[in-house]
Chains A and B, each alone.
Chain A
Amino acid sequence: MRSKSDTNGDTASLKKRKREPKDDSAQSQQKKHRRKTKQEKADALNGQGADQTSHTNDTNLQPINGHSGLSGVSSQSQWKVQPPMGGRMLNIDPIFSPDEKFLIITYNTSIQVFSIESSLPIRRIPIPLTETDDENATTPAHIVSTSLSKTEGGYIWVACSDGRIWNINWRLGTGSDTPFTITSSNLVDMSVDAIDLPNSKIDVLLILQKTASSSSQIFAYTRESLLEGKGEGLLLHSFDESPQMLRFAASGRLVVAAAKTALHIGHLKASKITSIDTLKFDFHSFDLPDIISSLDVRPVLKDKKLIRADVVVGCARGAIYLYNDVLSGIAERTLQPRKLHWHRRVVHSVKLSRDGNYLISGGAETVLVLWQIDAGRTETLPHLSATIENITISPRGSSYAVHLDDNSTMVLSTAEMKPTMYVSGIQSLVLEETPSKESLVRRVWRSADEISAPVVATSNPRNPSQMFLCVGNGQQATQGAGTTVSAPLVQVFDLASFQGVAKHAIARTNATKANITRDGVPIMEPTATSLSFSQDGKWLASIDEWQPPERDTAAFLTGSKTIAEAARQRKEIYLKFWEVHEDNSLELVTRVNEAHHTDLPQAIFDVASDPVSSRFATIGNDGVVRFWSTQYRMRDGLAVKGHDGEPLRSWYCSRAVTLPVREKQEDIVEETRKVFHSGAVAYSEDGSILFAAYRVSTEGLVVAIDTQTGTIRDVVSGIIRGEVRSIQSMGSCLILLSEDIAVYDTVSDELLYSYKLKDTSCAAKRLAQLAVNHQSRTFALVAPVPHPRQDKLKKGARSELTVFSLEDQEPQLVQSFPHLITSVLAAPGSSGFVVVDSAAQIWAVTDAVEQPVILKSMDDLNMDDTAETQPVQDALVLQDEEISDEEMEDADQMEVDDDDHAAVVAQQHVVQTFNVAPTFAFAPLDGSFSVMAAMWSAKPAYSE
């Protein structure tokens, strides 16, 4: 693998900045700064950076240590990037294991197995998708279909769009490294069914692929033909329409393929199949009045004969068409569908129940609709948390698995409609590989296909393993209207148990209301733009913004006002202070409507929390820094008490400091108001100084404000270039992120070093982020690297993470990531960083010197090697007892006496054991092992 940085230590996204000492003599009150001028190296080298790094993939990322030949990089810095965790659930039906004990969910980069009983992850099987990734492809290879083998319940078939097919044993996690390859570059769907041959039963894979611009072919493969590696399968059918979906059912007797607006139904010609080569189907096709968005087939077999097949089709404009007994309908030319129309928008998923009496469907209305087919009545389960993407009915029909757009899947019992299992992954802004079903129809709005702002994230100081992320009601709702992001929720994600723990609404949400207007435009929710915890974790400050969409303000135009101005005038910016209770629930204590305002409400650029006391500071567009303190609410000198008798607190602005604007030339006509473009604030580590960096008019300034007196101690100019993105304070140094990353020593008053961000497109600048780890005295810079042929941060864009140490001007680590990084956080209580990317994966970047890092991904956990030879039931008993404990690799050596009663261990106890720290900063393994062992080895009190 090639080094990802050239010999100068310059990286793809950074280049060393040449700085000439500026002549500051005109400004007597300003200080002159001695700057280290750096030799600018040939830029030609830098241009290749992005290409050099683009060959990395998920599994074999290797950090560059020491930068061979570089002086100044200490050889003991051993920064490492751990393999990623998590991911985003794909729009592929979740799979129930045949015994309904496990749920297999397809993620964008892995297959994950969850226990239905405990909701805990059992295994993560990474799928090495990017191995053959062509850097020219704008749509990278992605998994298109996952299907359970109909002959062996322990295997699944996974198809990738570039023609790779994996046969994976999900119980053992094997098979992900040896894909079969077929000669197809545009696989659309795959369906698997078992066919009875005279002496055996074999899996037959039907592949739907797009050949030319709008023609499709269906091929059949068997395991044998794949093994032979012929590449070519048996062509069953081809048609000249663009393919959508494929279903293979009734023991290989029925094929249903959906084109854009037509169905192709194939019926097995022969009554018996003697060999795979004789597989032939009679195909009939008919048109539908609308674009097909979902499909389900329910065959009825009698004496190994297909006597009836019901087909149900969900359409892009909300109608569901039900074809009862489609075969006789075709034969007798009396095909008449039943139209069921409840959905307003695309039917994302529709399924027929096992007995054929019910339909179950869902879509962007976030309502699960149950249709009684005979009575024509509907029952609904409304107000789910996000768009329903997929529905699967369990093999026994006793439960539904529902995959929602907010990266969660739940299993509902059909009897009570109560969830029995809930898996919630991390929500991030995601660039989907495949367009959403919502985009099948042209709409009055377009959802965003780029990421223009980071996901606001922070970690809870009281419980360091918990991340708080500002998210929306699912991906589609978040990026719904294209221009702005709506993110009114905070997701609490526990890194230790790797589960979403809770979601809190910190602004108005549409969770229980219609989410589109009468005109069919999504209603935008407020966007949370900042989150900050107080140092003790008891308080949370949040900022959210909302402004009416411009189409609503067309009536408000007067004079020369533009629509955008009219909308801005009605902007609502709230600064909210929340009390964080022990159980992580949030209680709104104070809401400040216009914390920063002139004649208009002004944007709040940044909020910082005091590292020594419960105080916050904000900087706003009005050029004022405000300090916020808490006090007991008093009335007539009495503390006001709440219902529980506890005195109530409130937050107030304890001080406002107007930021100085340097008078430039006298001859410039005095502006009525200086325009503040951007700003950021940071407290010094002892809380005595607040640093405010801001850009006013054309100049960037850094101001040090005494937090006790509110006096301005120092004004520094000339170290900010362009818009201020972030400022952080560490020791005596300030780290400033603008178009440069600069480290400035406030004591010696000199610029230690600075780098220039290479990519300065608007979106790239906005996504550049800075995180500081005070424990290891390091900071991480994240800069996006757009795809070479795109200017916006769309699919194919990557990110680069650079870790710097304060003392050393050479980067400690330069690492390219295969996806855009949406958030970067210092890992609290550890020396590393946590990175969330646009594939909803979490990466841990750690300093290996500090401590042995333990991040055993789930695939390292051996379940039971003998599972294949043992009866399935026994293997699963063992698995139950080692529930998902990713760290417990010795579990298989634990003796389990079958005659004994299993120890009763509450799930929360297990979680607590691992809740102490982030997974990658975990305490010694033996300690947790003995705790776990004690839990299970203890005999329950009531056992004989």
Chain B
Amino acid sequence: MAAEVQPLPLVKLPSGPSPVTPEQRYWRSFKNQKSHTSTATWPISHISFPAQTGAVLSNSMVAATKLNDLFAVTSGPRVDIFSIRKRELLKTIGRFDSEAHSGEIRADGRVLVAGEDSGKMQVFDVGGGTRAVILKTWHIHKQPVWVTKWSPTELTTLMSCSDDKTVRLWDLPSNNPSHTFTGHSDYVRSGAFIPGGNSNMLVTGSYDETVRVWDARTPGGSVFTFKHKDPIEEVLPLPGGTTLLAASGNTISVLDLVAAKPLRLITNHQKTVTSLSLASNGKRVVSGSLDGHVKVFETSNWNVVFGSKYPSPILSLSVIAAGAAQEDRHLAVGMQSGVLAIRTKLSGAAAEKARERAAIEAAIGTSALDKIDARNAKRKRAAVSNKNMDMLGENVDVIIPTSDTGSRKKKLKPWQRNYKDGFYAACLDEVIDMSGPEYQPLVALTVLVALRHRSALREALEGRDEVSIIPLLKWVSKYIVDPRYLSICVDVSFHLYDLYSEHVAGNSELAELFQALLGKVSRAASKAQAAIEVAGMLETLTLGNN
């Protein structure tokens, strides 16, 4: 029945408009930019990485994760293959007669397909030596092939879209397309498999300003057509398979296949939107535009949650996910200027290491370095002893720990201990020490407010000497201008005045500090005076209106 002792909870100040949202923090953590300029600064037209799907994973999990370390960047007549882990160029495929388009690596990471301006489509072996082996060539399209994509579920199926207004489905071993979809009346510049459709459903966008949905099981024309105002640059089906995004001019339209209607028109970009990519496991969509902006949208209400600007028009982008959980790893943006910018989010151990390094760099030359060393040494010792513990357990099945480490009480900080034991002056000294390593103004405020609640503020301020008043005065001078701290600072300064005013005359440092406090307060007071004047002026204005 005894109540549980809780540590003193921090004062909760009014939140106000938050300067940084968690979403912004997340996307800002993509840093460590690495730029790679393509040969002869060809514009980067396409970036892709093999989507990891359930079908492939079940085949050979280990091989897939190992091989899924690649992403392909298409620029001019070349396709560059990069390593996701190292962000390094591994291989360049340059065996194109003309400008290449849409270099895509298959989900198992073994082969790559790309189209080109001549209308050829080629399949290359990704592995092997530096010179890529052409495994297959189709030359059925008579106009540039702009889209070549692997089916997410069937390893041998792929699609293509061409300026000859056709969309075709291919089977890898055969020489002729298994399906040819006609219906577009202009160049087809974008297309994708609709997920969940067993490679039967395609969506394509064309310069005839339509988005068409095709079904291989339905002969004839498209099963669905959405007419837009501007040519379609990019289509992107969302993971559920019922919602499509289409970039048309400087807008992005959200299309619902089930309700057969557009849900929303996103008009956040100034210029033509050139690329769309899924991120965060399909919970976010990233768009890139010729205006050089990258915007991140959430997928329920399509609000922008983050944006950033690149120096050149963006032609392609991709949020490259990796790992078993398919976490966002890189934000790769390809630009008109031929620059591929890769920003990376550090995860887990790597992030920890980076923090450690930053801390050491900051600590060099100060005493804090010793502390870091000591902490590292302690960690190392703990690791060794843990290892010894494991050794002990070689011949036993279960080791029962001697003490329940999980529920062990958190050690109180010195100020918390002092507060609990009623040594309020000592507690206050600790929390207002602005040079301390764990100094937080909010903790100081919390303690001061708690002391006021406990009628112990005066008790904590009483009986001090010159040395111990100085930090208090400095703290008050610093925070008295902050409206959230004002009330408590006023109380503290009243008490200090009441208790120590007679000693000021004899101590020049103390007098100086009180002088500084006076200066701060009078400046703030004059500002407040100005505000009052404005308020008075506005009041007469509103009175007149009534």
Contacts and interface: CB of A to CB of B under 8 A. Distances in A.
8 contacts: A512-B5, A517-B454, A517-B456, A555-B494, A635-B21, A635-B23, A637-B303, A638-B298
Contact of A383 (B3, B22, B453): B3
B14 interface: yes
Nearest to B301: A637
Contacts of B303: 636-638
A512 B454 contact: no
A549 B454 CA distance: 10
B23 A636 contact: yes
Given A636-B298, A636-B304, A638-B298, A593 B453 contact: no
Interface string A550-561: 011001100000
Given A419-B1, A422-B1, A556-B494, A523 B454 contact: yes
A653 B491 CA distance: 30
B1 A512 contact: no
Contacts of B454: 513, 517, 523
Contact of A635 (B14, B18, B487): B18
Interface string B421-436: 0100000000000000
Interface of A: 381-385, 410, 412, 419, 422, 508, 511-514, 517-518, 521, 523, 546, 548-549, 551-552, 555-556, 570, 591, 593, 635-638
Interface in B463-484: none
A422 B1 CA distance: 9
Given A518-B456, A556-B491, A638 B3 contact: no
B329 to A, nearest CB: 23
A518 B460 CA distance: 11
B425 to A, nearest CB: 11
Given A511-B3, A637-B298, A552 B457 contact: yes
B533 interface: no
Nearest to A402: B1
A555 B5 contact: no
B227 interface: no
B12 A591 contact: yes
Interface centre among A381, A549, A555, A593 (most CB of B within 10 A): A555
Contacts of A552: 452, 455, 457-458
B4 A638 contact: no
A412 B455 CA distance: 34
B21 A636 contact: yes
A518 B495 CA distance: 18
B300 interface: yes
B487 A570 contact: yes
B458 A512 contact: no
Nearest to A518: B459
Contacts of B397: none
A548 B452 CA distance: 7
B452 to A, nearest CB: 6
Interface string B485-522: 00100110011001000000000000000000000000
Contacts of A384: 1-3
Given A555-B495, A635-B21, A636-B21, A381 B455 contact: no
Interface of B: 1-6, 12, 14, 18, 21-23, 298, 300-301, 303-305, 422, 452-459, 487, 490-491, 494-495, 498
Contact of B4 (A512, A546, A549, A593): A512
Contacts of B3: 383-385, 511-512
A98 to B, nearest CB: 26
> 4 shortest A-B CB distances, which residue pairs?
A637-B303, A555-B498, A383-B3, A511-B3
A383 B455 contact: no
A638 B18 CA distance: 14
A382 B2 contact: yes
A19 B305 CA distance: 66
Contacts of A521: 455
A551 B456 CA distance: 11
A593 B305 CA distance: 30
Contacts of B21: 635-636
Nearest to B12: A591
Contacts of B301: 637-638
B238 to A, nearest CB: 17
A383 B6 CA distance: 11
B305 A638 contact: yes
B26 to A, nearest CB: 12
**Most A CB atoms within 10 A — which of B2, B12, B14, B452?**
B2
Nearest to B302: A637
A308 B452 CA distance: 53
Contacts of B453: 508, 523, 546
Contacts of A517: 454-456, 459
Given A636-B21, A638-B298, A638-B301, A383 B2 contact: yes
Contacts of B491: 556, 570
Nearest to B499: A555
B2 A381 contact: yes
Contacts of A591: 12
Nearest to B424: A518
B304 A638 contact: no
Q: Which of A383, A518, A638 has the most chain B CB atoms closer than 10 A to its own CB?
A: A638
Contacts of A511: 3
Contacts of A512: 3-6
Nearest to B490: A556
Contacts of A382: 2
B60 to A, nearest CB: 34
Contacts of A381: 2
A768 B305 CA distance: 55
A638 B22 CA distance: 11
Contacts of B5: 383, 512
Contact of A385 (B1, B23, B300): B1
Contacts of A513: 454
Contacts of A546: 453
A591 B11 CA distance: 12
A665 to B, nearest CB: 21
Contacts of B458: 552, 555
Nearest to B497: A555
A598 B487 CA distance: 16
A544 B333 CA distance: 55
A363 to B, nearest CB: 15
A412 B2 CA distance: 11
A525 to B, nearest CB: 9
A701 to B, nearest CB: 19
Contacts of B487: 570
Nearest to B461: A555
Contacts of B422: 514, 518
A638 B300 contact: yes
Contacts of B4: 383, 512
Nearest to A548: B452
Contacts of B494: 555-556
Contact of A549 (B1, B305, B455, B490): B455
Contacts of B455: 517, 521, 523, 548-549, 551-552
A589 to B, nearest CB: 13
Nearest to B8: A513
Given A517-B456, A552-B455, A552-B457, A636 B305 contact: yes
Contacts of A551: 455
Contacts of A548: 452, 455
A385 B6 CA distance: 15
Contacts of B456: 517-518
A593 B454 CA distance: 19
A569 to B, nearest CB: 9
A643 to B, nearest CB: 13
Contacts of B490: 556
Contacts of A593: 14
B545 to A, nearest CB: 14
Given A517-B454, A518-B456, A548-B455, 12 more contacts: A419-B1, A422-B1, A508-B453, A511-B3, A517-B459, A523-B453, A551-B455, A556-B490, A556-B491, A635-B18, A638-B300, A638-B303
